[in-house]
Amino acid sequence: MRKIIIILTLLLTVGITSAQAKTLVVYYSYTGNCKAISSALANRIPVDVLEIQPAEKGLRYEANNYALGTQLLNTIKANPDDAGSYPAIDPVNVRISDYQNIIIVTPLWWSQMAAIMQTFLFNYGPQMAGKNIGLVVSSSSSGISGVEADCKRLVPDGNYYSKSLWIRSSQVGNAATLINDWLQQINFTDNSTPERMRIRVSDRTNAIIYELNQTSAAKSLYQMLPLEVEVQNYSNNEKIFYPPTAISYESDCIEGDCPAGTLALFSPWGNVVMFYGDASRYSGLYILGKATDGAENIRNLTGNILVEAIGDSTAIQTLKDAPAVNSSMGYTLNGMPASQETKGIIIKNGKKVLVK
């Protein structure tokens, strides 16, 4: 019997006008590397994440000189058009029609796509016709051309991005940087950035509302939200923080003077700057937006802060009696500390976690 798989939906579209993300990350992970890669993707762009699991648990595909894994792959290769050739997976509940972009994250098994992921694509590949398909492959050292061939056999009518991303096992710790570079190389866009991007920066005592401009740098920051980061004092007129991944920026970014209330990117160092005093323009300072409420609170920000997207409400909630950002349980999507009774999506260590 097949069992229902849990779909971990990372709702990175808080404050976005679209009802749901337009990008699906689907992954199978045997060693944990592909899971880590998928998490890094989810921290970089708004996505829903779907984990594929084998119906039969606890199998060691590498045991006895890779006997089982090789057998599964050989069975598929002998009859690739027969559904019975593919190993059973847990049923999934996903509507491919909801997504325009699909990123497949899979291990490499002996120069081929892992058999478990092949099963999913055999079942759902025909529904991916016309979708934008990205492929991310994890392997120890083998090249990924065989995995690319398997993917195109199973999803023959997908619109493939110009190149796949190969992340070796030794590079998983650097996955965020590799993913960021890859997304820029393939000119990835998820079309989910709203026309009006508004964010709240708060430390539970002080809060500031910013309205971002429509530049590539501002969109790059917005797509990382929510973030929990440490704020630092700098000079006598600004607070700064460092995003977990580099903010991408193009020629549409604007340099200019930065009066109090300006939010900017200092590109040479990659930090975000919140000015509470005037600053003259200097090279590499790109304006991200302006404070629309609470600019007087910038100078008082301290410790860890929460940076989150917000909707059209402009009011800053009363924060004087709220606790500092140090809850080991994490935070709800509206920035309140989570408790043991909290269910649903929470933010913990800068990432979204589903609590059931």
Q: Are residues 176 and 202 in the same domain?
A: no
User: Does one domain contain both 173 and 289?
Assistant: no
Q: Is residue 355 part of a domain?
A: no
Strand partners, 192: none
Whether residue 7 lies inside any domain: the answer is no
Strands (E), the chain: 23-27, 48-51, 101-109, 112-113, 132-139, 159-160, 165-168, 197-202, 207-212, 227-230, 232-234, 238-241, 254-255, 262-266, 271-275, 285-293, 304-310, 331-332, 344-348, 351-355
The CATH number that applies at residue 298 is 2.40.100.20
pLDDT bracket for residue 340 (50, 70, 90): low
Q: Looking at residues 43-60, what average pLDDT do you find? A: 90
Same domain, 237 and 119: no
11 lies in some domain:
no
The pLDDT, as a whole number, for residue 270 is 92
Lowest mean pLDDT, pick from 84-88, 315-319, 343-347: 315-319
| 203 found inside a domain | yes
Average pLDDT for 303-313: 78
* Residue 59 structure tokens: 């199998």
- Give the alpha-carbon dihedral of 284, 293, 200, 260, to 10 degrees: 20
Q: Cα angle at 195 between 191 and 197, to 5 degrees?
A: 100
174 and 34 co-located in one domain: yes
Q: Are residues 148 and 251 in the same domain?
A: no
Residue 190 DSSP label: -
Give the integer Cα–Cα distance in Å for 21 and 284. Answer: 32
The answer on 230 and 149 residing in a single domain is: no
The stretch 333-352 carries a mean pLDDT of 55
Would the pLDDT of 300 be above 90? yes
Q: What is the mean pLDDT of the chain?
A: 82
pLDDT surpassing 50 at residue 320? no
Does residue 154 fall inside a structural domain? yes
For residues 228 and 286, membership in a common domain is answered with yes
Ranking 18-22, 134-138, 321-325 by mean pLDDT, the lowest is 321-325
Summarised one tens digit per residue, pLDDT across range 214-253 is 998 998 898 788 889 999 998 888 999 999 888 988 888 8
Residues 124-146: what's their mean pLDDT?
Answer: 94
The answer to the question of residue 216 being in a domain is yes
Residues 212 and 129 both lie in one domain:
no
Residues 181 and 274 in one domain: no
Return the pLDDT at 301: 95
Q: Tell the residue number behind the tokens 């991944």, with chain if given.
A: 245
Residue of 308 and 349 predicted with greater confidence: 308
pTM of the model as a whole: 0.54
Domain match, 201 and 160 both:
no
Number of domains in the chain: 2
Q: How many CB atoms lie within 10 A of CB 354?
A: 15
Containing domain of residue 111, as a range?
A: 23-185
Residue in 252, 284, 256 with CA at minimum distance from that of residue 270: 284
**Would the pLDDT of 3 be above 90?**
no
Q: Is the predicted pLDDT of residue 350 greater than 50, yes or no?
A: no
For residue 333, being part of any structural domain is answered with no
Average pLDDT over residues 30-53: 91
Amino acid letter for position 229: V
Name the amino acid, one letter, at 35.
K
Q: How far does the chain reach from its first CA to its final CA, in angstroms? A: 24
- Identify the CA nearest to 276 among candidates 304, 234, 242: 234
Q: Kindly state the average pLDDT of the residues 14-22.
A: 38
104 shares its domain with 141: yes
Helices (H) and strands (E) in the chain, counts: 6, 20
- Residue 140 placed within a domain: yes
Instruction: Give me the pLDDT at residue 292, please.
Output: 94
Convert the pLDDT of each residue in 22-39 to its tens digit.
Answer: 899 999 999 999 999 999
Rounded distance between C-alpha atoms, residue 161 and residue 68, angstroms: 32
Do 270 and 311 fall into the same domain? yes
- pLDDT for 346: 59
